[in-house]
């Protein structure tokens, strides 16, 4: 717990609106008591104010999909492994690294990734965690040993964590898990949910994450959907990242992955459902996803050659968009949301694709990178710097050369379409400044 504090700066975003000389009064628990223009309030007590000076304060970015351990293979997968390198050949290299990690190693690389996230302006991460057991599939004495390492890394760094605990069962329809996948797999749904319950009982924010329709059989998908609805937990899954996944789902179930998930009860739930990637989807799939969220991971999708998410069509069909760093080849929220827009421009040969009807592009991209990610993780108290929310903020240095001659009314557009995370000077999580 920290002492009450007041934060001010030259510019800030409150409720999606750019405010000149903003002020936030934050209580000892890190919650915002008052927010608005400084001129609206009396002077704060002496010594209680943190003035960021010539800076823009925006809500802390939300990373809705991360595999922190994959940070360990950055730069190591760019030599040809097959006649046609793609996601599947990359996956082989990723599996090799996953099976070298012991608890200390997982903690160390997760801490590296989380520190980099914080430095880049991510104040919350949804860690889609699937390296659970020993390499041969045997459980540690504590079946949650590796999950606790992720929790410990987040606590050590000071980033807000939602642990998206993954259920993994098989290599595909009628195929047992491969040797290199065994450490991802729980014995059954009951064993998995026992681990989930132990984490929740210890106060860990948890979401359910069936890995994919490829890795989880239909009866288990139905059981997980029912548990998630009953317990009001966020649910995430990889969906249609590759066309091969669609083909295999059609062969096994006679429908697309989104249709299967809908039949199993994943949609229309209290906390909603997040489909990660959703690249190989069609109009019927998008209609099924109305009211849900798609988490795009543009830097990873580009790195793996996955393709471009149809972001404009998804938004038109009532699907919210969030972003994640996924494989952590790049950790930069500004690049994620910018590449989402630029991918649309390349795909459609148009400009200004993701701007709202009444707001500039920067405001819309900021919402994708903050509010939408928070909602996908079931967090109602982060993503916006308004009264009642946690004061989770990224501070943007307006003295950075990139912003030379940029006017106030263009600052958000310049930030989200031209900058990188190098312009982030400070981060605050729950009213506490963090030093990555």
So where are the chain's domains? 5-59+383-434, 61-376
Q: What are phi and psi of 126, to 5 degrees?
A: -100, 105
Task: Report d(CA 388, CA 143) in Å as an integer.
Answer: 37
Please, what sign has the CA dihedral across residues 389, 394, 395, 398? negative
Q: Tokens for 359, please give them.
A: 């707001």
DSSP per residue, 258-290: HHHHHHHT-SS-TT-EEEEE--S--HHHHHHTT
- Whether residue 374 contacts residue 382, with contact meaning beta carbons closer than 8 Å, is answered with yes
CATH superfamily membership of 61-376? Metal-dependent hydrolases (3.20.20.140)
From CA 243, how far away is CA 211, in angstroms rounded? 16
Q: What kind and span of H or E run contains 223?
A: helix 218-231
Report yes or no on whether pTM surpasses 0.95: yes
Place of tokens 């190098």: 422
Cα(12)–Cα(395) distance, integer angstroms? 9
240 close to 280: Cβ distance less than 8 angstroms:
yes
pLDDT in tens, the chain (436 residues): 567 899 999 999 999 999 999 999 999 999 999 999 999 999 887 778 999 999 999 999 999 999 999 999 998 888 887 767 888 788 888 888 889 999 999 999 999 999 999 999 999 999 999 999 999 999 999 999 999 999 999 999 999 999 999 999 999 999 999 999 999 999 999 999 999 999 999 999 999 999 999 999 999 999 999 999 999 999 999 999 999 999 999 999 999 999 999 999 999 877 789 999 999 999 999 999 999 999 999 999 999 999 999 999 999 999 999 999 999 999 999 999 999 999 999 999 999 999 986 678 999 999 999 999 999 999 999 999 999 999 999 999 999 999 999 999 999 999 999 999 999 999 999 999 997 7
Give the residue ranges of DSSP H helices in 329-409: 333-348, 361-369, 371-376
CB 219, CB 260: distance < 8 Å: no
Domain covering 5-59+383-434: architecture:
Roll (2.30)
Q: Which of 25, 220, 306, 326 is catalytic?
A: 326
Backbone phi and psi for residue 283, each to the nearest 5 degrees, phi listed first:
-60, -40
Whether 277 sits among the annotated catalytic residues: the reply is yes
**Annotated catalytic residue, options 277, 285, 332, 392:** 277
Task: Give the tokens for residue 342.
Answer: 């630029």
pLDDT digits (tens, 9 = 90+) for 402-416: 999 999 999 999 999
pLDDT tens-digit series, residues 179-232: 999 999 999 999 999 999 999 999 999 999 999 999 999 999 999 999 999 999
What gap in Å lies between CA 419 and CA 430, rounded to an integer? 25
Q: How far apart are the first and last CA of the chain?
A: 19
Contact 134, 102 (CB under 8 A): no
Q: Pairing relation of β-strands 273-277 and 55-59? A: unpaired
CA atoms within 13 A on the CB side of 348: 16
Sole residue written with tokens 């009866």: 219
Pair 159, 123: CB distance under 8 Å: yes
Is beta strand 22-26 parallel, antiparallel or unpaired with respect to 32-37? antiparallel
The tokens for 67 are 């595999």
| Helix 361-369 × helix 411-418 angle, to 10° | 60
Whether the CA torsion 371, 375, 381, 387 is positive or negative: it is positive
Query: DSSP per residue over 83-135, as a string?
Result: SS--HHHHHHHHHHHHTT--HHHHHHHHHHHHHHHHHHTEEEEEEEE---S-T
Dist. CA 436–CA 23, nearest whole Å: 24
**Is 133 a residue of the active site?**
no
Determine the Cα–Cα distance for residues 18 and 57; give it in Å rounded to an integer.
Answer: 10
């Amino acid at each position: 717990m920290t002492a009450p504090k007041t934060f001010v700066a030259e510019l800030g975003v409150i409720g999606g609106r750019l405010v000149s000389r903003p002020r936030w009064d934050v209580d000892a628990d890190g919650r915002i008591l008052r927010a608005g223009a400084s001129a609206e309030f009396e002077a704060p007590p002496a010594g209680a104010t943190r003035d960021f000076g010539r800076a823009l304060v925006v809500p802390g970015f939300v990373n809705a999909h991360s595999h922190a351990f994959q940070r360990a293979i950055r730069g190591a997968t760019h030599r040809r492994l097959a006649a046609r390198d793609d996601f599947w050949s990359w996956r082989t290299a990723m599996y090799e690294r996953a099976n070298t990690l012991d608890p200390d190693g997982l903690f160390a690389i997760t801490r590296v990734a989380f520190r980099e996230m914080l430095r880049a302006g991510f104040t919350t991460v949804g860690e889609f965690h699937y390296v659970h057991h020993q390499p041969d599939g045997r459980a540690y004495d504590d079946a949650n040993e590796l999950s606790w390492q992720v929790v410990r890394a987040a606590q050590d760094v000071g980033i807000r964590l939602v642990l998206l605990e993954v259920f993994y069962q098989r290599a595909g329809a009628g195929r047992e898990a491969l040797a290199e996948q065994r450490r991802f797999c729980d014995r059954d749904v009951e064993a998995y949910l026992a681990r989930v319950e132990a984490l929740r009982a210890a106060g860990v924010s948890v979401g359910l994450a069936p890995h994919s329709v490829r890795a989880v059989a239909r009866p288990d998908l139905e059981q997980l959907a029912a548990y998630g609805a009953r317990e009001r937990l966020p649910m995430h899954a990889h969906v249609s990242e590759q066309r091969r996944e669609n083909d295999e789902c059609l062969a096994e179930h006679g429908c697309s992955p989104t249709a299967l998930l809908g039949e199993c009860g994943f949609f229309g739930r209290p906390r909603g459902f997040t489909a990660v990637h959703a690249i190989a989807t069609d109009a019927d799939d998008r209609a099924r996803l109305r009211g849900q969220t798609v988490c795009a991971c543009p830097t990873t999708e580009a790195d793996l050659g996955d393709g471009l998410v149809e972001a404009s069509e998804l938004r038109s069909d009532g699907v919210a968009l969030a972003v994640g760093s996924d494989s952590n080849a790049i950790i930069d929220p500004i690049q994620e949301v910018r590449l989402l827009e630029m991918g649309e421009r390349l795909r459609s040969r148009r400009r200004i694709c993701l701007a709202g009807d009444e707001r500039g592009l920067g405001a819309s991209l900021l919402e994708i990178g903050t509010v939408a990610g928070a909602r996908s993780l079931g967090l109602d108290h982060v993503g916006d710097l308004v009264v009642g929310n946690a004061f989770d903020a990224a501070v943007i240095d307006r003295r950075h050369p990139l912003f030379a001659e940029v006017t106030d009314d263009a600052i958000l557009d310049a930030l989200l379409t031209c900058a990188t995370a190098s312009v982030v000077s400070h981060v605050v999580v729950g009213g506490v400044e963090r030093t990555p």
